[in-house]
Structures are given as structure tokens and as C-alpha cells.
Amino acid sequence: MKQIHTEIEISAPAERVWELLTDFAAYPQWNPFIRYISGRPVPGERLEVRLEPPGGRGMTFKPKVLDAEANRAFRWLGHLLVSGLFDGEHSFAIEPLEENRVRFVQREEFTAMIKTVEPLYGSRSARRTHGRLDR
């Protein structure tokens, strides 16, 4: 299993961070990796997500929302072609620190039956992109 993990402290209330995180129409304005999302952040729902990693080929997939707890957590699981071949679980956590300050944590965990696909999204480029999102 490969994992990407980034975190940053943000001077904003958890409600504001959640509002931005779930405003899918605004993603192209601030997210250099996730260029498009449609759907609803509701457990069990399917999203349509367009990823465009820097220097890599873009792809569109339809992950299933696993968790969506307002002002706290948002998590989905996506598959390449079929479940188990190449799976990616993406999670966002909002951890309150003070009244108007939170820690924003992103994780992506990859599991794959085929090792040739894994470097595409478990690469240094993907880690750098996640880091850019935290600025």
C-alpha cells in the first residue's frame, strides 16, 4: 500500500473549510489536481471526479462517498476499471484546534494488484500536488 499524507493549519473556522471543501463547482479555481467534481457529498452517493496530475495523464472516475460528516470529514473510494485492480481512498479531515483555527489533513491510500499502475499516483509529483493544495 502507498500513502500520501499532507496537513496544514488554517486560520478559519471548521464550517468555512467544510463549505469550501464541498463547493465542487469552485474546485477549478483553487485545486490544481482535482479539476472537476459533480455529485453530492453524501455517504453511498457516487461522484464524478476528474484528476489531472501535473505531468501526467488525466482521468475521470466515479468514486463512492464513504463518509461525509459536516465540518469534520469527507472520504471516498475510487477504482480503476474494477475493484481491487487499483483502488484509491481519498480522505479529508478537519480537526478543530481553536475557535477559528483548524488542522486540514489529506490522505490518499492506494492498493493495487498491478504494480505498474501504482507509481502514477503514488509518485513524488502526486505528493507535491497534494502539498500545493494545502497552501
pLDDT of residue 55: 82
- Residues of 33-57 as b/e, b for ≥16 C-beta within 10 angstroms? bbebbebebeeeeebebbbbbeeee
CB under 8 A, 24+ apart: contacts of 41-46: 41/65, 41/68, 41/74, 42/68, 43/67, 43/68
pLDDT in tens, 87-111: 888 999 999 999 999 999 999 887 7
pLDDT of residue 84: 54
Q: What is the mean pLDDT of the chain?
A: 83
CATH of 2-133, one of 3.40.640.10, 3.30.530.20, 1.10.10.10, 3.40.50.1860: 3.30.530.20
Pairwise CA distance, residues 110 & 74, whole Å = 17
- pTM, 2 dp: 0.76
pLDDT in tens, 39-71: 999 999 999 999 888 888 888 889 999 999 999
Domain residue ranges of the chain, discontinuous segments joined by +: 2-133
Give me the mean pLDDT over the 10-28 stretch: 96
pLDDT of residue 118: 44
Pairwise CA distance, residues 131 & 58, whole Å = 19
pLDDT of residue 133: 52
pLDDT of residue 59: 86
